[in-house]
A and B are shown apart, each in its own frame.
Chain A
Amino acid sequence: MVFTDNLHMLDIARIYLIEDDRTILHFLEETLKLRPHWRLVGHSDTFAHARVMAPLSNADVFLVDLGLPDGRGEDMLRTLAVTKPDAELLVFTVFGDESRLIHALQCGATGYVLKGCSSQELVDAIEQIREGGAPISPLLARMLLKQFRAPDPFGAPDASGSPVEWPELSDRESEVLKLVAQGYVNKEIAIRLGIGPATVSTHIKNLYKKLSVHTRVQVVRVAQERGLI
């Protein structure tokens, strides 16, 4: 029973859109026609609305625009990362704004979609991430390698003043990142390392989790201090 339930859960994506651009909403609605059993369970066009409503929804995929009119998408990600730890947080980004993307990943994003992608590309991205994959670009990989190698990646201690513990990359993760940075695609990397393509994706996803672990811990700590949880 449990097994079929899980399958069922995987099959039906409940999507929540946080985006002030109406055309994106229309685009999403068009896209959902490709997957009729997916549901758009909520939509916020302001930060204020999203902050109240999004955590209450039962969505398992959040599409978050970083450039909201009344707040920072990163703060939204932080909130969702804590209140919806099992949900996928996809960031809408313009082409290759990797610097901001890294920050978004640190804030808890689990993937990203390029603005201007086709409907099929959006569906692919959502399916990929639900199957345990993660999108990545050579530049992003390069930046991540740099981040993980840096002695103090955040440049400053966290809010409580204790030094930041930066998780370490495993050898395999480091290899994957290096190859991505050199322009290799997942299939090629899998062949080179003698592993399955899905495993490559899993490695990347784990990387993203490691990136945001710090943020999650920090947010929880701050919330505890303020008596919120």
Chain B
Amino acid sequence: MRRRSGGVARRLKGRAVPHYVWVGALLVGLMLVLHWVSRPTAEPGLVKVTTANALVPDLVGAVVKQVTLPHVLDDEESRWQKRVDYDLPWPEALSYADRAEARLGLLLPRVGTRFRVLLNGHEVAQVGWYAEADRTINTAWFPYLVNLPAGLLAERPEYNRLQVQVQGQLLERSGLWPLQIGDYDRLFVRHRLLDLWQVMGTWMMTVIALLMGVMSLMLWAALRERLFLLMAAASFAHMVRLWLSVVLEPPMSFELYFFLHRASFTLYVGFFCLLMEELFGLRVLIIRWLSYFLLVVGPLWMVWILYTQLYDFYRVWAGLLALVAATSLTIMSVQLVRHGQLKQDQFLVLLVALFTLLTGVRDFLVVQLNFPGEADIRWMSVGGLALMLTLGWVLLQRATASAREVHRLNDTLAENVARRESELRTAFEQLRLSEQQRAVEGERRRLMRDMHDGLGSQLVQTLNAVRSSNGRLETSVVESMIHHALDELRMTLDSLEPMDGDLPTILGTLRQRVAPALEAACIELRWQVQEVPPLHRLDARGVMHLFRCVQEVFANVVKHAQASRVTVRTWADGQRVYLAVEDDGVGLPPPEQRRQGRGLNNIHLRAEKLGAQVRFYPTWPGTGVEFSFPIQHPGVNPSSDWARL
């Protein structure tokens, strides 16, 4: 119920503004900002150098040739691939009257993999130039700002000789990219921007990817969903790729560095495709196979590139990656649209993926194919960040969805339990009612029997006496008979009072009934009753049995015992409660002379029903009757427990 209403709310909200609309708007805005930031500009005081005279110094009969920047050594013949010296022509626009006043600098957005800068034959900057050859150094990831000291400048600008010397590393696209010469302060600002964009940005992305990977892994450990494992794998691959793109000197051999750097990107793309497929729940086999192809063949391909030392093979592979990614995205979009299952979240992911793809294509066009635009500012970084954040959001949705599902299940469970509980309660209630009915029915029968045997027979006796007397019956006799009948009725009613098995109170109530008869017979009643534990067998029925028993005993005392005193006592030990009635009369006759009257038999019979033992004994003089009741501890009676439920 809650879930449905939540869905409705979301749909209503979604109808107002679907999230992909504003995210799309955001992305478009971002693209415009990127475009504005990286538009080709000509800043005053700065000169962009796009040509240079290159030569291979160690070669006998060195050839000097003019090259256009970027100059990539992998594209040259093998003799160019080790070391190249570039002579930069001093731009005519960059003149100064007094060299002491000139504060000039040189900005190298991309140069490597090792380099040094010479001004008029003096070295003014170097990175990794003198390091051992077996160390893996790659300066190409970082922009460098070189100060051109005023003291080394020539008196006249056109006499200045500016050299950038480069040591190359095959497969790393070593070489020299277009650079800027000019006012140092302006270059400083520019350098700060590039550094922020390329270095800081990449570090931040690395940390985010690491965080995403760890979180996905933890989510996977908790939820065991394949999606999170794929996300973790993609994130870790991405992290490795980013990290290796931002260290100057990775602590490993070049071959391993190259392999890890390139293979991690392949794995990232492969896992990413699988992730998308899993996310959309499409079960498209071709995407899976393509992804598996990337995951398996990619690393092997890198080994092959290392073996052949041909960068073109990497270009082919990069094209393949882009193709696979684009194909997968296209297939998924088509499938989703065709099945009409495109949910808002999926649409959002597709949108962002498309944005990322576009940034990649833009970078490819500008950097590799010299389309207009600032090549130093890569869009792909922003695209990758957007994609990662979106995936993080999706991940969060997934995780909270399962939490929501748990809540829903909990609710359902609670509902079920409540329903069952109420069913159980109803059943118990019915059971209790029927139990009650049964008890009421039993009680009704007992009352009827009592009325019939006691009051009924007394009234019948009275009626018969009146009829057979022919009007000669004395009023006092009739009155006494009716009194007797009333006593019977009172006793029955008394037995119905709630006395909770309290023996003294029951006896006290009985005392009120029998006291007048004893008084009339001039028998003294000694009351030695004391508090005893309650007896659960003394319910209404039990009370009636006890009444009859004690009544019978007193009747015997009055009729036969010729006693002057009768004592009633109660006491208890740990196990039993005792009730004794003793007289000081003539005592019981010996057993053989005893009339097998109904009286004693009745006492035994009723005592049995009470669960009590009866003992008759002589008291010299006189007779005693002792009833002993077992103490039933609360909770022993199963039926009462049942009723309490």
| Minimum CB–CB distance for B525 against chain A, Å | 9
Q: Are B493 and A182 in contact (CB under 8 A)?
A: no
Whether A166 sits at the interface, judged by CB under 8 Å, is no
Contacts of B509 in A (CB 8 A): 96, 137-139, 183
Partner of B486, one of A116, A137, A142, A181: A116
Q: Are B504 and A182 in contact (CB under 8 A)?
A: yes
Which stretch of B86-94, B394-402, B526-534, B633-641 is in the interface?
B526-534
Name which residue of chain B comes closest to A142, CB basis. B505
Contacts of A99 in B (CB 8 A): 497-498
Whether B425 sits at the interface, judged by CB under 8 Å, is no
Q: Are B508 and A182 in contact (CB under 8 A)?
A: yes
| Minimum CB–CB distance for A176 against chain B, Å | 13
Contacts of B502 in A (CB 8 A): 142, 181
Q: 1/0 contact trace for A87-124 toward B, CB 8 Å?
A: 00000001111110000000000000000100000000
Interface size on A, residues (CB 8 A): 20
Name which residue of chain A comes closest to B500, CB basis. A142
Q: Are A95 and B499 in contact (CB under 8 A)?
A: no
Known: A96-B509, A182-B505. A188 touches B497 (CB 8 A): no
| Minimum CB–CB distance for B86 against chain A, Å | 100
Q: Are A184 and B529 in contact (CB under 8 A)?
A: yes
Q: Are A139 and B529 in contact (CB under 8 A)?
A: no
Whether B626 sits at the interface, judged by CB under 8 Å, is no
- Residues of A14-41 contacting chain B, CB below 8 A: none
Contacts of A142 in B (CB 8 A): 499, 502, 505
Q: Are B512 and A138 in contact (CB under 8 A)?
A: yes
Whether B349 sits at the interface, judged by CB under 8 Å, is no
| Minimum CB–CB distance for B236 against chain A, Å | 68
- Residues of A56-115 contacting chain B, CB below 8 A: 94-99
Whether B565 sits at the interface, judged by CB under 8 Å, is no
Q: How large is the interface on B (under 10, 10 to 19, 20 to 34, 35 or more residues)?
A: 20 to 34
Whether B511 sits at the interface, judged by CB under 8 Å, is yes
Q: Are A139 and B494 in contact (CB under 8 A)?
A: yes
Name which residue of chain B comes closest to A95, CB basis. B490
Known: A95-B489, A137-B512, A188-B527. A183 touches B505 (CB 8 A): yes
Q: Are B508 and A181 in contact (CB under 8 A)?
A: yes
Known: A137-B512, A139-B497, A188-B527. A181 touches B490 (CB 8 A): no
Task: Please report A residues at the B interface, Cβ cutoff 8 Å.
Answer: 94-99, 116, 137-139, 141-142, 178, 180-185, 188
Partner of A96, one of B490, B527, B531: B490
Contacts of A184 in B (CB 8 A): 508, 527, 529
A188 to B529, CA, bound (A): 12
Q: Are B497 and A96 in contact (CB under 8 A)?
A: yes
| Minimum CB–CB distance for A129 against chain B, Å | 18
Contacts of A95 in B (CB 8 A): 486, 489-490, 493-494
A45 to B497, CA, bound (A): 30
Known: A96-B490, A96-B509. A183 touches B497 (CB 8 A): no
Q: 1/0 contact trace for B257-290 toward A, CB 8 Å?
A: 0000000000000000000000000000000000
Q: 1/0 contact trace for B478-495 toward A, CB 8 Å?
A: 000000001001100110
Known: A96-B493, A137-B509, A139-B499. A182 touches B529 (CB 8 A): yes
| Minimum CB–CB distance for A70 against chain B, Å | 26
Contacts of B497 in A (CB 8 A): 96, 98-99, 139
Whether B187 sits at the interface, judged by CB under 8 Å, is no
The 9 residue pairs across chains A and B that have the minimum distance between CB atoms: A183-B508, A138-B508, A182-B504, A95-B490, A142-B505, A183-B511, A138-B505, A182-B529, A183-B507
- 21 CB contacts below 8 A, A to B, read A95-B486, A96-B509, A99-B497, A99-B498, A116-B486, A137-B508, A138-B505, A138-B508, A142-B505, A181-B502, A181-B505, A182-B505, A182-B507, A182-B508, A182-B530, A183-B511, A183-B527, A183-B529, A184-B508, A185-B527, A188-B527
- Residues of B521-543 contacting chain A, CB below 8 A: 527, 529-531
A94 to B489, CA, bound (A): 11
Q: Are B493 and A181 in contact (CB under 8 A)?
A: no
Contacts of B486 in A (CB 8 A): 95, 116
A178 to B529, CA, bound (A): 11
A142 to B497, CA, bound (A): 11
A182 to B507, CA, bound (A): 8
Contacts of B493 in A (CB 8 A): 94-97
| Minimum CB–CB distance for B634 against chain A, Å | 17
